[in-house]
């Protein structure tokens, strides 16, 4: 029986590791569709019930509750398919910001066929902290401009998110150095992603 779940690549890494940057660039190429949990959250009306619920958690650097996060994500994914902006038969789904813990891995497993976990791995978080603080100032994101909140996000990442790397089989996991010019990092990312696209295109043709 053919797996009807979208072929999926997970962008995984610490805050500021470049998941969004690389996901956006790759999502602009034919055959890929980028979906970011952060963009989903930021698209909410801040005065709506959902918007206030998200802000309550993100403003302190904490994760948004799992069931709520996945419900918003499923709604957005279904909307993209219905609108035709994402065609699972022709595009690989690039997920950025989901899953963030083991519970979310289990919740999304009926929805996606994960073919690659691309880990933007770095041992030194200090350059990433500064990257986020700079982004907060440049883009007007209050939760990215508060150093204490940003550092708390790294604590949460290490305790809650890094176990995700043990959830998926070793053969699906690749580490990519996130430090360098965006083009340099993109080259490393493409080296890992292109084989997945080649298999995907081959299976679609057959």
pLDDT (tens digit, 0 to 9) for every residue of the chain, 206 residues total? Answer: 457 899 999 999 888 888 988 999 999 999 999 999 888 888 888 888 888 888 888 777 777 889 989 999 999 999 999 999 999 999 999 999 899 999 999 999 999 999 999 999 876 788 888 888 988 888 888 778 888 888 988 888 888 899 999 999 999 999 999 888 888 999 999 999 999 999 999 876 55
188: left (phi over 0), alpha (psi -120 to 50) or beta: alpha
- Residue 180 forms part of a structural domain: yes
- Residue 32 forms part of a structural domain: yes
Per-residue buried b or exposed e for 55-73, using 16+ beta carbons within 10 Å of the residue's own CB = bebbeebebbebeebbebb
**According to the model, what pLDDT value does residue 110 have?**
96
The model carries a pTM of 0.86
**According to the model, what pLDDT value does residue 204 have?**
63
**According to the model, what pLDDT value does residue 76 have?**
94
- Residue 56 forms part of a structural domain: yes
- Residue 158 forms part of a structural domain: yes
Range of the domain at 35: 7-205
Cβ-in-10-Å burial (0-12, 13-18, 19+) of 190 comes to middle
How many angstroms separate the CA atoms of 108 and 93, rounded? 13
**Number of separate domains in the chain:** 1
Q: Is the peptide bond before 99 cis (omega within 30 degrees of 0)?
A: yes
**According to the model, what pLDDT value does residue 156 have?**
87
- Give the CATH number, domain containing residue 173: 3.40.50.300
- Residue 165 forms part of a structural domain: yes
- Residue 172 forms part of a structural domain: yes
For residue 26, the Cα-to-chain-centroid distance in whole angstroms is 12
- Residue 2 forms part of a structural domain: no
- Residue 83 forms part of a structural domain: yes
**DSSP H or E segment with residue 72:** helix 66-83
CA-based nearest residue to 116, from 40, 188, 33, 12:
12
């Amino acid at each position: 029986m053919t797996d009807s779940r979208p072929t999926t690549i997970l962008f995984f890494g610490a805050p500021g590791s470049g998941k969004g940057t690389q996901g956006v660039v790759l999502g602009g190429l034919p055959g890929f569709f980028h979906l970011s949990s952060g963009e989903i959250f930021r698209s909410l009306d801040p005065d709506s019930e959902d918007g206030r619920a998200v802000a309550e958690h993100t403003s302190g650097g904490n994760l948004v509750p799992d069931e709520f996060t996945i419900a918003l994500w499923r709604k957005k994914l279904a909307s993209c398919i219905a609108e035709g902006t994402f065609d699972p038969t022709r595009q690989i789904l690039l997920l950025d910001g989901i899953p963030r813990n083991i519970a979310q891995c289990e919740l999304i497993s009926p929805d996606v066929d994960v073919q690659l976990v691309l880990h933007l791995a770095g041992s030194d978080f200090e350059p990433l902290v500064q990257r986020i603080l700079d982004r907060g100032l440049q883009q007007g994101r209050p939760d990215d401009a508060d150093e204490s909140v940003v550092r708390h996000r790294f604590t949460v990442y290490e305790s809650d998110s890094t176990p995700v790397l043990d959830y998926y089989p070793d053969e699906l996991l690749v580490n990519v150095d996130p430090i360098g010019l965006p083009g340099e990092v993109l080259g490393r990312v493409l080296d890992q992603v292109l084989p997945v696209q080649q298999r995907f295109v081959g299976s679609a043709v057959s």
